[in-house]
Structure 1
Amino acid sequence: VVASVCDAVLGIYAITPDAIQFSTSPEGDVADYSRVLGRLPEFNASATRIVFSSSVDVRHQYGELSQDDDPSPLSEQAFRAIRTLELSHCQRSVSERWTERCRFLIELLLSTGEPSKTLIAELLAVTPRTLQRRLADEGTGHRELLNQVREDKAKEYLRSEDLSLDDIAFLLGFKDTAVFYRAFKQWTRMTPGEYRALRGEYLV
């Protein structure tokens, strides 16, 4: 499944993952993972993740559409692979909260653009209205959850000097760096540069 996701992103954006992490131990010869995935993954991590970064200037084709009308940016193969990965993650997780399921998918999909409520609902095999109700029952909504994931990941990425603001904007699914800049200032009342300057023991 992870190999299918990597192939899909390679086909869409011509980029390969910077890191692949599995929450499980390796099964069989570790060299098989390198051969199939193109790099040696990290095992026994806190979660299964595929990490992409790129300084390539990407303009998402669906960036100007309304959220509920977004066409899926994923190929059919990628859609099936990500849905399978989410189901596998859900089966391993002790939590059945819709919030956690959505958060997992949002983190996985952000580097392909902003995941719409419609796309998340399709991956979870429910209607957008049903997804909205499930999240409301847990005290949140798609937009609130998307913003929270983006803020959390932005703070994580800004702690690394290896990522430029363009890279971070891309990884968070923003159509350009200026939009990311405005969003981050709205979340934290600081610019990304100011937050990065305060990195270290004083950051929360």
Structure 2
Amino acid sequence: MGAFHSVHQEDNYEALATRTGFSPEQIRNLHRRFKHLSKNEDKLRREHFTVVSDLELNPIQSQIIEAFFDERNFQDSGRGTVTEISFQQFLIVMSCFLPTDPCLTAEERENVRQRKLRFLFNMYDTDDDGKITVEEYRHVVQVLISQSDNLDKEEAKEIADAAMLEVASLNVVHMAPDEFYEGITFEHFVKIWTGIEIETKMHVRFSHLETPNICK
């Protein structure tokens, strides 16, 4: 029975590797991490993330944690949030932070870029209405810059407001004269990131998980 379970799990790891881009070895290591965080349960809940030391000092800790429970990030066209996630869902969200494989074709690299940008967009679009509002964007910017010891809250707010106005001005260029500016759509968000190499900015080093990757 144990041997059968082991073979079945290895087959599952291979399937998850194809879907996520992780190697089977990385998936085995992440599964052990998942079981450790969940206290050997089959599901992870928000409170389990409070022990992740890498997140403790992150100014957008709450947004990152919420991303793991956002159904938009599960690659199944879901909407809304859930209270707990399976290992497969955990792995799919984690794969958003994988460094981009240099062996990918130009089309595959663009698909990875679009997925990373969509993930970031979802983190800003907290009410899931398809737009990043002034309030949503301002909140994230303000949280990030308020960590500076050289700024007080009012200065942080002023910088956040200025950042929002700059983004709005970029988007207005792409709008028709009769359109009303209600917020940043995903299409506008992608244009904002034009020329910025998201592939190198949005990744996690899986130093203890990595296996050699050789292009063939």
Q: Same fold (TM over 0.5)?
A: no
TM-score by length of 2: 0.25
Larger radius of gyration: 2
